[in-house]
Structure 1
Amino acid sequence: MDRIDSYKDLIVWQKSVKLVSKVYEITRLFPEEEKFGLTSQIRRSTVSIPSNIAEGYGRGSSKTYLQFLSIARGSLFELETQFHIARRLRFITENNEIEYIISEISKMLNALINKIKN
């Protein structure tokens, strides 16, 4: 396994940053009246994922890192729910790429959490 010198070396952080870019692209197409509603919420929950991974890493204690990873995972589930709502409102169609990335990040966060716990 490669040495981790920074949170930027974590693949889960890298993938979550890419997810932010993809989500911003998709939400640009949302109705203008959602700018301060669902669009804003989706973007904030997405940005929260890599931000909490980074902040937790920077805190220096395993216990605190676990708390921030848990927050990142919660934000990921929040995003998944918001995308489900956006589909139901017909702002977007099925987006298997986003769903796949969310699933990947979820698995990686769970693995990282379990590794730190043990």
Structure 2
Amino acid sequence: MATYSSFEDLPVWQHAVEVYVEVYKLCERTKLKHDYKMRSQLLDAASSISNNIAEGFEYNSNKSFHNFLRIAKGSSGETRNELLLSMRVGMIEAADYNTLRLKLISLSNEISGFMDYLKNNPRKRSFE
């Protein structure tokens, strides 16, 4: 069983940051670069995933952490929705949407697995 002393060490947080970087780069190279509102909404949703994982970790309580992971999972869905809307209005290509959609679904599943772990191990503060 691994012990993490910092949220930066959590694989789920690292994956959330990787997704954010990909979303940011997408915004820089597509029509989203010129649509401030849509770009801002998308980047806010994407950054909220790693932000909530980090914030929940810092509370040092599995119950609080579980709640913040729930919010992070919701932000993953919001990011997917914003990407879908961006594709539907012609701001991004379907291939970009599909690539990020799969990564966000995988991340959402990873968050769910971590939530299950915390729920089933309420007294532990070390993570596998």
TM-score, scaled to structure 1: 0.92
Partner of 1:83: 83
Amino acid at match of 2:7: Y
Shift of 1:7: 1.2
Question: CA offsets per residue over residues 50-103 of structure 1, 9 Å max, x none?
Answer: 010000000011111111111101111000001110110011112232122101
Number of corresponding residues: 116
Identify the match of residue 115 of structure 1 among 107, 114, 117.
Answer: 117
CA RMSD of aligned residues (A): 1.2
Identity score, percent: 29
Task: With the length of structure 2 as denominator, give the TM-score of the two structures.
Answer: 0.85
Offset at residue 110 of structure 1 (A): 0.3
Higher RCO (Cα < 8 Å, 6 or more apart): 2
Structure 2 residue ranges without an equivalent (≥5):
121-128
* Runs (4+) off by over 4 Å: none
